[in-house]
Amino acid sequence: MTQGPIARVNTQGAVDLAALASAKHNQQQAERALANAPAGLVIDVTTATFERDVIEQSMTVPVVLDLWATWCGPCKTLSPLLEKLAVEYGGRWVLAKVDVDAEQAIAQAFQVQSIPSVFAVIKGQPIPLFQGALPESQLRKYLDELLAAAQQAGVSGQIAGGAEAAAAIAEPESDPRFEAAFDAIEAADWEGAEAAYRHVLDTDPLDQEAQAGLALVGMYRRASASDVVEPAVTDQDLLLAADHAGLAGRWSEAFELVLEVVRRSSGSERDVARARLLELFTVAGDDPAVPAARTALASALF
């Protein structure tokens, strides 16, 4: 069989702000769902574990393969949705995640041309499902059809603890203080979102989620107002490019762009860049690029 190269998704240029807002919300839901997930419900698969975790497992329950990569923007939207749904479906199917860069043999075996690509395996037989990031309603339709096909094939098992995990997230926790902010972000109402987060901070100035939300809205507002200038020359060009890079999840790049402004500026301009970098740290949270960038900031300042 002729294998073609996996098409890399271009994350440069304009930012889909509504999609980013939804992706962040989906990620939060997925993290909460996975906290209740039993072992084996959502797994990372390698070439070495494929036989056991996919082929053998598919004799009992359908296995959904999510082929993704760290550089893939749509993957950041799709994967959290699949993780959340794996828990919601109560262990009636298993989500097996494959990093196509690390596991190229698996990608080649499935003749993957673009990502995200999603397949299912039932009784060891692969079934193409779809490519690209789909909304949750369409994902559920595919999954329901998959379970019906699995039932006809005599595959109707369930992962131990799956039902309990599904029940644990059946009533999602919500904080009404943040509902107005999230609704405003989805509507691209940056003033409304900022007002909602500031309202939370007026009551609790140390609320980390509100601090991060306010900083994120600032990134959305700036990115929606201007496209990235190539090549970035002025300090403002660099800071805007950092916003776009951060919103695309390229935190190392975003931090370095702002650090460049810190290094080459002084006085109030340096103070602005330093404050901007601290905002990016707040949004990035525990991203592995943060510690090194904090050290680089200290070196640039002192």
- All structural domains of the chain with their residue ranges: 17-168, 176-301
Identify which of 158, 50, 154 has the alpha carbon closest to the alpha carbon of residue 109. 50
CA distance 155 to 157: 6
Give the pLDDT band of residue 1 (cuts 50, 70, 90): very low
> Tens digit of pLDDT for each residue in 192-243?
999 999 999 999 999 888 898 899 999 988 988 877 777 777 888 899 999 9
Catalytic residues: 72, 75
> Tens digit of pLDDT for each residue in 18-32?
444 555 555 555 555
> Tens digit of pLDDT for each residue in 269-279?
999 999 999 99
**What pTM value is reported for the model?**
0.51
Which residues does residue 44 pair with via DSSP β-bridges, in sequence order? 97
Give the pLDDT band of residue 183 (cuts 50, 70, 90): confident
Higher pLDDT, 167 or 248: 248
CA distance 20 to 76: 9
Which CATH superfamily hosts domain 17-168?
Answer: Glutaredoxin (3.40.30.10)
Q: Is the pLDDT of residue 33 over 60?
A: no
CA distance 37 to 9: 30
CA distance 99 to 75: 11
Identify which of 251, 262, 266 has the alpha carbon closest to the alpha carbon of residue 298. 262
Which two structure tokens, joined as six digits, stand for 72? 């893939």
- For all residues of the chain together, what is the average pLDDT? 82
The answer to whether 62 touches 150, Cβ cutoff 8 Å, is yes
Cα of 278 vs its chain's centroid, Å: 22
- Tell me 159's DSSP state: -
